[in-house]
Structures are given as structure tokens and as C-alpha cells.
């Protein structure tokens, strides 16, 4: 056990990931026409596979494959269409590599097919609240889970986000989800929590959450942080999406310093280097939480 209160192991199906070894880098592979940063770039199977290989070579521990955009205002996609987008990519990468793979979906039927194709992790932006079948699938498959906080739904989430205390409410969500999922047969060790930066939050909400990440996971389960190229970085720095690398690296480093164990990113190589450097320094800090 660490002194953060949670076991330092992540159960992802048959795989057991030691969260003390080094930060996990989750590379984003969107096979969608409308994702906010790279929509349409990897819809072609050959391009998608080539990008997956590149991220693995650059140091990605996990490839997160998504077939439905969750950007603000995004419309939903039918399950069959989502499967047609993601399954060939997962199957193709699985024939070449034993890298961990994640399916970014809120649909249990898509998640189940992805696990059968070789994925190990379900990354559900609804926090397993959307599809009633997702909880039983998670319990039966023992897949790794990323359980994200979101206020509202992608189509409307940025209309008027409102909280009395965003940090307290996200931590309450973590506790509620942990209780519900364990009651459904999910093991705590399957779960990483995600505060859902940019999902039903204003710029100030996002900044407050990033400033208080250590308060969110204390005694519960460790966290994944997904801030790569997001709009709050652009608004703070006055930059368009392609120019947000430095801001993303800064926020991710702040997250690592507070004990985040996984970073979901577009820019794998730069993040891998920044993360390894940050943790090398962090290990020398006295009176620190024993995370890595």
C-alpha cells in the first residue's frame, strides 16, 4: 500500500499494472471525423495503424481508441458505426503488439466487442452511468476502467456548467461511483478516476480541479488526467489547438506532482520525456507521497 490509501496496482483484465514504476502515458487515437483536435486525420485504417505504431515507438503505455467524438456539441453515433471504426484498429494493433489498449466508449456493446478484439481497458466518459449494461460487463470482464466525471452530456455539457464547490462535488462523485461499482461486483483495483477536465466545466472550474488533484484521490483510487490541447489551455494562453503543447505539458507536470498516475495525451514523445523528468525530480523530494 502507498500512503495515499489505495493499492498501487491497476487490474486490466489479465494484466496487472504496477502504478509505482513510472507514469503511464495513454496515447489518443481518434478514428472519428469530428474530434476537436485531430478529427478526420486517422479515419483511414492504414493511417490509424501507422499513428498507433508511432505512439508506441514514442513511449505510449496505452493506446486509447475512440470512434465517437465527445467534444462539446458532438452528436451520438450508432453502435454499429462505432464498432466499424474502432475494431479494425484494435485488431490490427493487437496482431503487432502487446501494448495495453483502451476503448473510449459509453456503449457496452462496443466495449464488449473491443475487449474481445484485444482491448484491456474501458474508458467511459459517462462514468459508467450511461449504459446500464456497462457495470455488469466491467464486473464480468474485470477490464481496467477509467471512470470520468462529467456534468451533463457532450452535446450540452458546456452550455452553463454550475457547481457550489467543484472539488468537493467531483470527489463526492468518485466516492459514489466507487460504492456503486463495488456493489455491482467491480473490484476497486480495476478503477482509475478522471476528473473530466473540460467536460461540463468552465475555465475556472478546470483550473481549480487541476490545483487540487491531490485532494480528489486521497483514500479512494488514483487518477488519470486528460488535458491535452483542451480549450481551457487555449483560453488562458490565447492559443489555437495546434499551439497548446507547452500548456498541456505544464498542466500534466502539475498533475504528476500531485500523484496522478496516467496522462491521456496527443503528444506522446514530448509528454513521455516531461513526465520522466518530473518524476525523477519528484523522487528526490522529502516528505512526499510515495506514489512512484
Q: How confident is the model at residue 287 (pLDDT cuts 50, 70, 90)?
A: low
Q: Quick one: 260 exposed, middle or buried, by C-beta within 10 A (0-12, 13-18, 19+)?
A: buried
Report pLDDT for 203: 96
How large is the average pLDDT for residues 204-228? 94
How large is the average pLDDT for residues 208-223? 93
Q: How confident is the model at residue 292 (pLDDT cuts 50, 70, 90)?
A: very low
User: 3-state class of 146 per DSSP?
Assistant: strand
Q: Measure the CA–CA gap between 58 and 268, rounded to whole angstroms.
A: 6
Q: What share of the chain is helix, strand, coil (3-state, %, to 5)?
A: 40, 15, 40
Report pLDDT for 280: 92
User: 3-state class of 236 per DSSP?
Assistant: helix
Catalytic residues: 230, 264
Question: Element (H or E) spanning 90, and its range?
Answer: helix 79-96
- Residue position matching grid coordinates 504496477: 18
Q: How confident is the model at residue 2 (pLDDT cuts 50, 70, 90)?
A: very low
Report pLDDT for 160: 77
Q: Quick one: 39 exposed, middle or buried, by C-beta within 10 A (0-12, 13-18, 19+)?
A: middle
N residues, the chain: 292
CA distances from 225 to 72, 210, 269 (A): 18, 9, 17
CA distances from 130 to 107, 154, 270 (A): 8, 12, 34
Nearest Cα neighbor of 71 from 107, 103, 104, 34 is: 34
Condensed to tens digits (0 to 9), the pLDDT of residues 3-58 reads: 467 789 999 999 999 999 899 999 999 998 754 455 556 578 999 999 999 999 99
Are 150 and 127 a contacting pair, CB within 8 Å? yes
Condensed to tens digits (0 to 9), the pLDDT of residues 176-193 reads: 999 999 999 999 999 999
Report pLDDT for 155: 67
Catalogue the E-assigned strands of 149-230. 191-194, 224-225
Higher confidence at residue 59 or residue 157?
59
Q: Phi and psi of 262, rounded to 5°? A: -145, 135
- Angle between helical axes of 133-141 and 166-183 (0-180°, round to 10): 70
Report pLDDT for 69: 83
- The grid coordinates listed for 197 are 477536465
How large is the average pLDDT for residues 192-208? 96
Q: How confident is the model at residue 70 (pLDDT cuts 50, 70, 90)?
A: confident
Are 291 and 4 a contacting pair, CB within 8 Å? yes
Q: Measure the CA–CA gap between 122 and 105, rounded to whole angstroms.
A: 7
- Angle between helical axes of 133-141 and 108-117 (0-180°, round to 10): 20
How large is the average pLDDT for residues 75-101? 94
Q: How confident is the model at residue 1 (pLDDT cuts 50, 70, 90)?
A: very low
CA angle 98, 130, 252 (to 5 degrees): 55
Condensed to tens digits (0 to 9), the pLDDT of residues 217-267 reads: 878 999 999 999 999 999 999 999 999 999 999 999 999 999 999 999 999
Question: Element (H or E) spanning 49, and its range?
Answer: helix 45-57
Are 173 and 222 a contacting pair, CB within 8 Å? no
How large is the average pLDDT for residues 84-104? 97
Condensed to tens digits (0 to 9), the pLDDT of residues 130-177 reads: 999 999 999 999 999 999 999 977 766 677 788 999 999 999 999 999
- The grid coordinates listed for 148 are 470520468
Tell me the domains of the chain and their CATH numbers.
22-282 (3.20.20.20)
Amino acid at each position: 500500500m502507498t500512503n495515499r490509501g489505495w493499492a498501487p496496482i491497476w487490474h486490466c483484465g489479465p494484466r496487472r499494472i504496477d502504478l509505482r514504476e513510472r507514469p503511464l502515458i495513454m496515447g489518443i487515437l481518434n478514428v472519428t471525423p469530428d474530434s476537436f483536435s485531430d478529427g478526420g486525420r486517422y479515419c483511414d485504417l492504414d493511417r490509424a495503424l501507422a499513428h498507433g505504431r508511432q505512439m508506441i515507438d514514442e513511449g505510449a503505455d496505452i493506446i486509447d481508441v475512440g470512434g465517437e467524438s465527445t467534444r462539446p456539441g458532438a452528436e451520438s453515433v450508432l453502435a454499429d458505426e462505432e464498432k466499424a471504426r474502432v475494431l479494425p484498429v484494435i485488431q490490427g494493433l493487437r496482431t503487432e503488439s502487446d501494448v495495453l489498449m483502451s476503448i473510449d466508449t459509453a456503449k457496452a456493446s462496443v466495449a464488449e466487442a473491443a475487449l474481445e478484439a484485444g482491448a484491456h481497458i474501458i474508458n467511459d466518459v459517462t462514468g459508467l452511468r450511461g449504459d446500464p449494461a456497462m457495470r455488469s460487463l466491467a464486473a464480468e470482464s474485470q477490464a481496467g476502467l477509467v471512470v470520468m466525471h462529467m456534468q451533463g452530456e457532450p452535446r450540452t455539457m458546456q452550455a452553463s456548467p454550475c457547481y457550489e464547490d467543484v472539488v468537493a462535488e467531483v470527489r463526492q462523485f468518485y466516492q459514489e461511483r466507487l460504492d456503486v461499482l463495488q456493489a455491482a461486483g467491480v473490484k476497486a483495483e480495476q478503477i482509475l478516476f478522471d476528473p473530466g477536465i473540460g467536460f461540463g466545466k468552465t475555465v475556472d472550474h478546470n483550473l481549480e480541479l487541476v490545483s487540487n488533484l491531490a485532494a480528489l484521490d486521497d483514500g479512494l483510487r488514483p487518477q488519470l488526467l486528460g488535458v491535452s490541447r483542451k480549450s481551457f489551455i487555449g483560453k488562458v494562453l490565447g492559443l489555437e489547438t495546434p499551439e497548446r503543447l507547452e500548456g498541456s505539458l505544464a498542466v500534466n507536470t502539475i498533475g504528476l506532482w500531485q500523484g496522478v498516475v496516467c496522462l491521456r495525451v496527443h503528444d506522446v514523445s514530448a509528454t513521455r520525456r516531461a513526465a520522466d523528468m518530473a518524476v525523477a525530480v519528484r523522487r528526490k523530494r522529502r516528505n512526499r507521497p510515495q506514489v512512484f
